Amino acid sequence: MMKNTCFIAVGSWRMAVFLTLSGVLLLSSNASADGWDPGSGTTASGSIVNTRHNLTTSWNAYDYMSSARNQYNDVCVYCHTPHGANSQIDAPLWNRTINSDSNYTIYDKPTTLMRPISVPGPSSLTCLSCHDGTISIDSVLNMPGSGRDPMNSGLTNTEVGTSNASFLGQWRAAGNSGPMSVHMTLGGPGLTCAAYCHNPANEELTGWTDFTAFVIGEDLRDDHPIGVQYPDTFGPSVDFNPPDTTIPGKWAFFDTNGNNFADTNEIRLYDSGDGYEVECASCHDPHGVASGGAGSRFSPSFLRVNNGVVGSHAGVTGIVSHGPSALCLTCHTK
């Protein structure tokens, strides 16, 4: 019960929620402590609706999360909007505020790096808009329904960088489900998803998924380089594979099925002005990728190519392995 003391300090209503939830969830089994979590409540197949990127958490019988983020009841809207998208980022109909404060510390191992490396490109800033832990999960430009166009309201959410809690609070004020003032970020200090509930201690106590590994942060030195240029010449001295198709100004990709289209299960490099670069979405598809054809379980960790996880973990039934380090060896010849 040690855990509960910090919740009392924050607010008794939250403690009540916490106690109720732990009563329910103490019965659930602990999730795996792997880098990825096969113990998710989702089926991880068919659609993003059945993945952890469905932030409505509609797979749960109870709406646990509405004290932490606005419940938009719409899966796509946490990331996309059909109209009025964020024009500050070259990403598909992007509905989120982004962090362009250039506070990122980029990967820097000068003794080994042979390629130029720049700040994260658009296909990384999208992910980092949740995973760097600086922006609220529900920090969107356009909330569902009419009448909450930030451009026409006294309050605006078009500032880049931090969420605008007053603007986001309009959702709850209009009678919807969600917090009036606390709009949590994934991680970092303070009242965040990872610090508040989704941490190792609570995973042990209640079975709540530990998010701490999901918080990439703004220091990218301990992450696979992103914004790093892919080689443009190949040969015996270059230990990288050439991509099959290159479309300047857009992307290059490994066209494993030879259909001239960058399929979701094909690794790609994004050209946002500095040549073809590795970005988060080179390796990951945030909508989930079937590991073994339509209907099969998604590759773990939203990966485009399953790096070999199969069999030896709990909860991997139905995941098809693409072979040991298949993802890494798409680019690296090692």
Residues that bind ligand HEC (CB under 6 A): 35-37, 40, 48, 52-53, 55, 75-76, 78-80, 91-92, 109, 112-115, 123-124, 126-131, 137, 186, 209, 211, 213-214, 216, 223-226, 228, 230, 267, 269, 278, 280-284, 286-287, 301-303, 307, 327-328, 330-332
Nearer to ligand HEC, 34 or 149 (CB): 34
Query: What span, in angstroms and rounded, lies between the C-alpha atoms of 100 and 105?
Result: 13
Give me the half-sphere count of Cα atoms (radius 13 Å) on the Cβ side of residue 58. 11
Nearer to ligand HEC, 91 or 168 (CB): 91
Shortest spacing between CB 4 and ligand HEC, in angstroms: 23
Nearer to ligand HEC, 18 or 128 (CB): 128
Residue 288 is encoded by which pair of tokens?
């989930």
Shortest spacing between CB 154 and ligand HEC, in angstroms: 26
Query: What span, in angstroms and rounded, lies between the C-alpha atoms of 28 and 25?
Result: 5
- Gyration radius (Cα) of the chain, Å: 21
Query: What span, in angstroms and rounded, lies between the C-alpha atoms of 42 and 40?
Result: 5
Shortest spacing between CB 1 and ligand HEC, in angstroms: 25
Shortest spacing between CB 290 and ligand HEC, in angstroms: 14
Nearer to ligand HEC, 8 or 323 (CB): 323
Nearer to ligand HEC, 11 or 82 (CB): 82
* CA dist list (Å): 185 to 102, 174, 212, 263: 18, 22, 12, 31
Shortest spacing between CB 272 and ligand HEC, in angstroms: 10
Query: What span, in angstroms and rounded, lies between the C-alpha atoms of 182 and 156?
Result: 17
Shortest spacing between CB 121 and ligand HEC, in angstroms: 9
Give me the half-sphere count of Cα atoms (radius 13 Å) on the Cβ side of residue 149. 8
Shortest spacing between CB 28 and ligand HEC, in angstroms: 14
Query: What span, in angstroms and rounded, lies between the C-alpha atoms of 269 and 276?
Result: 5
Would you say 270 and 281 are in contact if contact means Cβ atoms under 8 Å apart? Answer: yes
Would you say 130 and 55 are in contact if contact means Cβ atoms under 8 Å apart? Answer: no
Nearer to ligand HEC, 1 or 98 (CB): 98
Nearer to ligand HEC, 18 or 208 (CB): 208
Query: What span, in angstroms and rounded, lies between the C-alpha atoms of 196 and 68?
Result: 10
Residue 311 is encoded by which pair of tokens?
């069999």
